């Protein structure tokens, strides 16, 4: 957005032929303080975007401390919009985990896809199961042929993450169907749930908090990923292995499943001073098309983005926005971006490393992948790296002082200037 703070993608949908990308928005500051609601961009083609402004304000008693994340269900010419209304009591000291917080599930209907109707509270804090703390949020609602399904992220008492699965015949009166969780604790909180079916398989997506760090897994402060089939500890795959990726959401546009993620990380010990100085902070990934692979889901940029390719660039030319295609990558190959970030290809891993202050305190991330090909996108302060045709992805923010490129090793490469997306206000 032009000013302020952007985080989680919300309400992703295609309505009346236009893509809708809502997002968590705090317009009053670039550090996330102040009023939290929903902003909106729309597009007919994923290339030309119109900023529609802030659409949901925290202006009711049941959402006075934030209109938090949620989802949209298209219906006819309009849609149903579900979100979490956050309330934090301030009359005395609370821990805001076991008490002091309200998490209300709220519905807004739009009959024409433009005007929003009145807010309607569907579930209040006292309606949730007693075994949960006050941390329940982020409704993802899907409509099947027979019913509506709603998935809410939650934190059980005893600090165990879980998802509450509700069902409804009318999209307003929901009853609890089951609680989805692992046998052993798998993080203390599951945020931003999502659920979809693709090529006959079921996927439950969550962003677990509190995972112990490993060399190749859960390297960031918080994780994001999905269970394919059974909800078990050994059946979880992460979406992204870079420094900055969280809270993704998917939607069906009529022909394909598309994902957007927030290029950020909650509570990360770094700051984005260059953008804060300009009055804004936050970005979303490129739209990623999901397909089923042999070892999990594949993520690849929407093919519409290929129309943004400009002239072919040599490796010596400086550019702050380009697509780099690498094929037949030999182990030992190393790519250096902007004098700040390196990508090293090994026999069985790919290592992303900051070696300058541009990392803002971050150092290294790894993907356990024997990469033979890669697509690397640089867009001023964002880098997205797609390995082996979407088998693994690494996303990060960076704030370099130059835009050089160096490639050492053996590989085939082509590099294209990336033309900018078009934005209208």
pTM of the model: 0.97
In a shared domain, residues 8 and 30: yes
Mean pLDDT of 198-227: 98
Inter-residue contact 24 to 57 (CB < 8 Å): no
**Judgement on whether residues 273 and 359 belong to the same structural domain of the protein:** no
Say what the pLDDT of residue 190 is. 99
Among 273, 300, 309, 260, residue whose Cα is nearest residue 417: 309
Question: What is the pLDDT at residue 270?
Answer: 57
Q: 274 in helix, strand or coil?
A: helix
Where b means 16+ CB within 10 Å and e means fewer, 379-393 reads bbbbbbbbbbebbbb
pLDDT at 277: 85
Tally the C-alpha atoms within 13 A of residue 199's C-alpha that lie toward its C-beta.
11
Active-site residue, from 8, 138, 194, 244: 8
What confidence score (pLDDT) does residue 371 get?
A: 98
Alpha carbon distance 349, 371 (integer Å): 7
Query: What range does the domain containing 368 cover?
Result: 304-424
Residue 267 clears pLDDT 90, i.e. is over it: no
pLDDT at 153 over 60: yes
Number of structural domains the chain divides into = 2
Token readout for 376 is 């690397």
Using pLDDT thresholds of 50, 70 and 90, give the confidence band for residue 232. very high
Q: Are residues 192 and 131 in the same domain?
A: yes
Region of poorest pLDDT, from 230-234, 245-249, 357-361, 413-417:
357-361
Same domain, 44 and 159: yes
Last residue in a domain, options 243, 276, 301: 301
Q: With residue 148 as reference, give the H or E element that holds it.
A: strand 148-156
* 326/278 same-domain check: no
Average pLDDT over residues 111-137: 98
Taking only the tens place, the pLDDT of each residue in 44-101 is: 999 999 999 999 999 999 999 999 999 999 999 999 999 999 999 999 999 999 999 9
Instruction: Decide: helix, strand or coil at residue 127.
Output: helix
Q: List the end-to-end C-alpha distance of the chain, in Å, as a whole number.
A: 10
Q: What is the mean pLDDT of residues 222-230?
A: 98
Mean pLDDT of the chain: 96
Instruction: Give the mean pLDDT of 18-28.
Output: 98
What's residue 251's pLDDT?
99
Regarding whether 297 and 253 lie in a shared domain, the answer is yes
Grade residue 268 by pLDDT with cuts at 50, 70 and 90: confident
- For the stretch 284-314, pLDDT in tens is 999 999 999 999 999 999 999 999 999 999 9
Model confidence at 144: pLDDT above 90: yes
Percent of the chain with pLDDT over 70: 97
Together in a domain, 205 and 68:
yes
Q: At which of 236, 266, 301 does a domain end?
A: 301
Give Cβ neighbours of residue 241 (< 8 Å, ≥ 6 apart): 216, 219, 352, 365, 366, 367, 392, 393, 394
Domain's final residue, options 301, 333, 350: 301
Compute the average pLDDT of residues 179-198. 98
CATH number of the domain within which 221 lies: 2.115.10.20
Tell me: do 289 and 361 sit in the same domain.
no
Q: Three-state SS for 305? A: helix
Q: Is 379 a catalytic residue?
A: no
All residues at 6 or more sequence positions from 225 whose CB lies less than 8 Å from its CB, including other chains: 205, 206, 207, 208, 236, 237, 238, 239
Residue 211 burial (CB < 10 Å; 0-12/13-18/19+)? buried
Per-residue model confidence as pLDDT tens digits over 370-410 = 999 999 999 999 999 999 999 999 999 998 889 999 999 99
Residue 217 clears pLDDT 60, i.e. is over it: yes
CATH of the domain at 319: 2.60.120.560
Whose CA is closest to 67, among 121, 31, 14?
A: 121
Residue 359 has pLDDT above 80, yes or no: no
Task: Say if residue 336 is in the same domain as residue 188.
Answer: no
Report whether pLDDT(214) > 80: yes
Same domain, 257 and 354: no
| Per-residue confidence (pLDDT) for residue 158, from 0 to 100 | 96
Q: What per-residue confidence (pLDDT) applies to 276?
A: 85
Q: What is the mean pLDDT of residues 242-267?
A: 97
Q: 237 with 322, same domain?
A: no
Rounded to whole angstroms, the Cα distance separating 176 from 57 reads 28
**Can you read off the two tokens belonging to residue 310?**
């400009």
**44 and 143 assigned to the same domain:** yes
Predicted confidence band of residue 254 (pLDDT cuts 50, 70, 90): very high
Q: Which residues does residue 413 pair with via DSSP β-bridges, in sequence order? A: 326
């Amino acid at each position: 957005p032009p000013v302020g703070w952007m985080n989680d993608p919300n309400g992703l949908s295609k309505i009346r032929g236009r893509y809708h990308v809502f997002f968590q928005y705090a317009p009053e500051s670039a550090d996330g303080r102040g009023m939290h609601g929903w902003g909106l961009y729309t597009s007919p083609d994923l290339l030309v975007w119109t900023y529609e402004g802030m659409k949901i304000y925290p202006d009711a008693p049941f959402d006075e401390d934030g209109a938090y994340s949620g989802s949209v269900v298209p219906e006819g010419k309009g849609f149903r919009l579900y979100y979490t209304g956050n309330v934090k009591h301030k009359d005395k000291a609370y821990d805001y985990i076991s008490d002091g917080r309200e998490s209300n599930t709220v519905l807004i209907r739009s009959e024409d896809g433009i005007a929003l109707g009145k807010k309607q509270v569907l579930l209040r804090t006292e309606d949730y199961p007693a075994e949960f703390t006050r941390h329940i949020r982020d409704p993802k609602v899907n409509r099947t042929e027979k019913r509506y399904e709603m998935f809410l992220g939650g934190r059980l008492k005893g600090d165990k993450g879980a998802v509450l699965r509700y069902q409804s015949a009318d999209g307003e009166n929901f009853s609890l169907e089951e609680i989805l969780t692992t046998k052993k604790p798998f993080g203390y909180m599951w945020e931003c749930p999502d659920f979809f079916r693709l090529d006959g398989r079921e996927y439950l997506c969550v962003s677990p908090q509190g995972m112990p760090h490993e060399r190749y897994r859960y390297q960031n402060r918080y994780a994001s990923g999905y269970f394919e089939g059974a909800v078990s500890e050994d059946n979880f795959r992460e979406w992204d292995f870079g420094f900055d990726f969280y809270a993704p959401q998917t939607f069906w546009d009529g022909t394909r499943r598309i994902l957007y993620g927030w290029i950020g990380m909650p509570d990360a010990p770094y700051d984005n001073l260059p953008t804060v100085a300009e009055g804004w902070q936050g970005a979303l990934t490129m739209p990623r098309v999901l397909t089923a692979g042999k070892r999990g889901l594949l993520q690849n940029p929407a093919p519409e983005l290929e129309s943004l390719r400009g002239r072919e660039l040599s490796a010596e030319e400086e550019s702050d926005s380009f697509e780099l295609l690498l094929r037949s990558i030999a182990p030992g190959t190393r790519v250096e971006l902007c004098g700040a970030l390196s990508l090293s290809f090994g026999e069985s891993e790919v290592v992303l490393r900051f070696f300058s202050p541009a990392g803002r305190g971050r150092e290294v991330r790894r993907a356990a992948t024997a990469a033979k090909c890669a697509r690397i996108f640089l867009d001023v302060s964002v880098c997205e790296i797609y390995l082996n045709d979407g088998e693994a992805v690494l996303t990060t923010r960076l704030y370099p002082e130059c835009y050089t490129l160096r490639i050492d090793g053996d590989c085939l490469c082509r590099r294209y200037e990336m033309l900018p997306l078009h934005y209208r206000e």
